[in-house]
Structure 1
Amino acid sequence: MCEITKEQVFEATATVIDPEVGFNLREMGLIYDAIIGESCNITVVMTLSTRGCPLHQMIKTWVQEAVEKIDGAGIVDVEVVWEPAWNISMADDNVKEALAGGSPQF
């Protein structure tokens, strides 16, 4: 039985920064789910802020590499979905404030 938790996967994705806005994918609310199989194979379900993101494949690779660093992780797959569509309400408060014209509180 796999002992990796969703929280570990979400923490790993927090190391990936969206280069367009400078916030990590977790605080942006772009990571929707982590499905962990008994053999520790992991599927990360995520979205991007826009369908036309020029860094689509690069961000998927970064997420995969970050999750693969979890001790005991098996095969990691990253699935990008477009429903539900991302919107600013999915982000944490610091991101919302910064993207609304304020400055993030670190």
Structure 2
Amino acid sequence: MDTQIDTAQLGEEIVKALKGIYDPEIPVDIYELGLIYDVMVNTDNEVKILMTLTSPNCPVAESLPKEVEDKVVAIENVKSAEVEITFDPPWTRDLMSEEAKLELGML
């Protein structure tokens, strides 16, 4: 019996976990803020997340990627998780979802 985990389904679970992580300075989760650029899941259920921070001097530059990694690796069926930080392209408010902009009174 093949118990292959659907990578798309796993991706959705990862996004759900990411939506539970909040930027300490802005009361919006990091996914809706647009800090997550890409979530890649390979067939071995190894996860790589490409993300950014609101600024290179972000006070959680050390702890936030670790929190993301810990939350993702805790998901059932995730074999490993790696978080890569990039500032290319740099984060701008344009990357925020409509929901985040509404939450922050920007719409």
Fold in common (TM above 0.5): yes
User: 2 CA distance for matches of 1:87 and 1:103?
Assistant: 13
**Is 1:38 aligned to residue 43 of structure 2?**
yes
8 Å Cα contact 2:41-2:47 kept in structure 1: yes
Moved over 4 A (4+): none
Q: Provide the residue aligned with 2:6 in structure 1.
A: 3
Q: Provide the residue aligned with 2:71 in structure 1.
A: 66
8 Å Cα contact 1:2-1:39 kept in structure 2: no
8 Å Cα contact 2:7-2:43 kept in structure 1: no
User: 2 CA distance for matches of 1:94 and 1:73?
Assistant: 28
More displaced stretch, 28-37 vs 4-13? 4-13
User: 2 CA distance for matches of 1:94 and 1:40?
Assistant: 30
User: 2 CA distance for matches of 1:22 and 1:43?
Assistant: 25
Q: Provide the TM-score with structure 2 as the length reference.
A: 0.84
CA deviations over 1:50-74 (Å, ceiling 9, x no partner): 0111211110011011111221001
Amino acid at match of 1:80: I
Q: Provide the residue aligned with 1:94 in structure 2.
A: 99
8 Å Cα contact 1:30-1:86 kept in structure 2: yes
